[in-house]
Structures are given as structure tokens and as C-alpha cells.
Amino acid sequence: MSWSKLKQNLESFLCPALDGKVEYSSTSYRYVADKAGLCYITVDKKNILNMSDKSNVIKWYQSEQEVKNDSDIYIPISDEEIEAIRKAMNGKVPEDRLKVMARSKKKSELAKELLSAQSTLSKSNFTVVATKFLATSIEESIESKDILLNILALVDRRVGKKRIINMSDTIKLKHPIVQYFYELRLSTF
């Protein structure tokens, strides 16, 4: 599919409040064989997501420790997770320490997921992911670990207000760029 047709299809799915505000752009290099071009997403004419540029407005993590030490990331823990730690430690650990251990374990898992998704995004081809988005269900795109699929789903008109509001807890566990587009979409209500 040509870039202009792909862009037209993606923009036809934008929610009405973001139409003209969110734009998909591409540059290509005609005579350079190994350069497929750059794709990026702009909001109000500001480059927000350029997949090959780590100096974006949004925070990009370089290591697992950065994710673990980020105070902006809130990790909710359930009673089941605390109970699993209690059983693993044979009940010999104080209650407040169990919560710290459960949160630390969950933060490590989240850090690995975020770094994996971030590295996949920087290597991915925008047109391939966008074409996949157009071919898959909106539920798959929302639940995917792919950052770009999450972003495309969040700005999609098929995702309603109730679903967006109900996603608030799960969005806290996503990459900051996904959180940015979630907040952008929330601002349209």
C-alpha cells in the first residue's frame, strides 16, 4: 500500500476531536537503497513520536534501573501477588516488606516489558505496523505490547469514552508515549 493511501486510511480512523490535531508524516529518500524513510506522529505540528529518534519529547528508558527508579510509574499490586510472595518466603517476612517485595518483582517485569517494547518500536517499520493495525481488531491493538499499536488504537474513533476511562489503571503500566496519547485522548472528552 502506498504511503498516501495508508495515511488516508489511518486519518479516517482518527476520533473527530483529534482530526487535524494528530498527523502522520513520512519522509523518504528516493536514491538511497538502505533508507526506507522516516515516519513520525505529530500533535499540533510538534513532532511527538519519531521512531528512530531517542531525543523525543517523551522519556525513553535506557536501562531497567531507570524504569525501576521512575517515581512517575505507579505499580498496583494485588492481594494474590502479596500472598504468592508470602508463600514463597514461608510466611517469615513482615507484612510491609511483602508489599515492597511484590512491587519490586512487578516493577522488574514491567521494566523488561517496556524496554522490549521500546526496542521493538525503534526497529519497527511504521508502515508494516500501521497496515497490521488496519487489519486487526481494535481490542487486539489496545491489548498488544506493541507501543505503536497502542497509540493508533488510543486515537481511533472506534474506542469510546467509557472504554478510555476504564483503561486508566492499565495505561499506568504502559510506556510514557502511550500514556501521553491516552492523556491527549482524555482531553477530548
Instruction: Return the pLDDT at 105.
Output: 83
More confident residue, 17 or 55: 17
Structural domain includes residue 70: yes
Structural domain includes residue 147: no
Q: Is it the case that residue 9 has pLDDT exceeding 70?
A: yes
Instruction: Report the C-alpha dihedral over residues 60, 63, 67, 71, rounded to 10 degrees.
Output: -80
More confident residue, 181 or 30: 181
Task: For residue 97, give its domain range.
Answer: 64-109
Our count of domains for the chain comes to: 1
Q: Is it the case that residue 153 has pLDDT exceeding 90?
A: yes
pLDDT band at 112 (very low <50, low <70, confident <90, very high): confident
Structural domain includes residue 86: yes
Tell me the pTM: 0.68
C-alpha–C-alpha distance, residues 93 and 20, integer Å: 55
Structural domain includes residue 82: yes
Number of other residues whose CB lies within 10 A of the CB of residue 39: 24
Structural domain includes residue 167: no
Structural domain includes residue 21: no
Q: Among the ranges 18-32, 54-68, 164-178, which has the highest mean pLDDT value?
A: 164-178
C-alpha–C-alpha distance, residues 86 and 89, integer Å: 5
E strand residue ranges, the chain: 22-27, 38-43, 46-50
Q: Which three cell numbers stand for residue 47?
A: 513532532
HSE-CB of 28 using CA atoms within 13 angstroms: 10
